[in-house]
Amino acid sequence: MKALKTQAKIFLRKNIPAGWKGYLMKYPYMFTPAQMLTLCDFALRAADKKGAFVEIGCAYGNTTIFLNKLFQDHALNVDYHVIDTFSGFTPEDVDYEIEGRKLKPSVNMQYVFSDNDPTWFKEKMDYNGVDLAIHQSDIVKFDFSKIENIAFCLFDVDLYKPTAAVLPTLYEKLVPGGVLVIDDCDKDDPNWNGAYQAYMEFIKEKGLPENIMNRKLGIIQKAS
């Protein structure tokens, strides 16, 4: 039986259909190792603050698992929340990129991440021993009374409209010494540069310093 299973595994590895290769063979993170290290560094530094850890835009949960395994390694008990539509970008947000910001994306934004599903996401978390709160919502419509304070937030919804709409609430809920990491703050990215515009507008309005790390991680910290 064991030999048969091994044979089957070898067969599958050698015969992965082309369409599955992206799922089975690709580097699984949307952050480079250097970007992951920056996230880990900020997350660990925020761990002793009295507030939740929030990932807005969690996609397929690979960073979620990575960060939660990091907390487990350090025996940290973290109140981790993920918030996602679990069906990709909203039509209004995509329309704004194209009609409002005159972006000419080389990808069909409406299609990207639209294959996700919260039930499957929960199963993946359980399988990996990750305990967290899963919220399915457009972040613009999310009831933030569910999260009192924020110690660390990875804000990763890419586009201008939701990033600009929610940054003020996140900053208000951020505890002293807490950190917001806004992904996709890369002005040169031809598709995903809306978050950069929202980040720049917000820090300018608040008089906060510009701090973009590892080419695309926009950092906002609240003084202790």
Ligand X SMILES: C[S@@+](CC[C@H](N)C(=O)[O-])C[C@H]1O[C@@H](n2cnc3c(N)ncnc32)[C@H](O)[C@@H]1O
Binding site for ligand X (CB under 6 A): 30, 55, 57-59, 62-63, 83-85, 88-90, 93, 113, 116, 138-140, 156-158, 162
Q: How far is the CB of 31 from ligand X (least distance, A)?
A: 6
In angstroms, the CA 186 to CA 213 distance is 10
The token duo for 170 is 């996140």
The torsion angles phi and psi of 172, rounded to 5 degrees, stand at -65, -35
The token duo for 193 is 């540069």
Sheet of 150-155: strand order equals 133-136, 80-84, 52-56, 150-155, 174-182, 217-221, 212-213
| Closest to ligand X by CB, 61 or 178 | 61
| Closest to ligand X by CB, 59 or 198 | 59
Q: Name the nearest CA neighbour of 59 among 16, 92, 23, 25.
A: 23
Q: How far is the CB of 7 from ligand X (least distance, A)?
A: 34
| Closest to ligand X by CB, 8 or 24 | 24
| Closest to ligand X by CB, 6 or 23 | 23
Q: How far is the CB of 135 from ligand X (least distance, A)?
A: 9
Residue type, 117: D
Q: How far is the CB of 71 from ligand X (least distance, A)?
A: 16
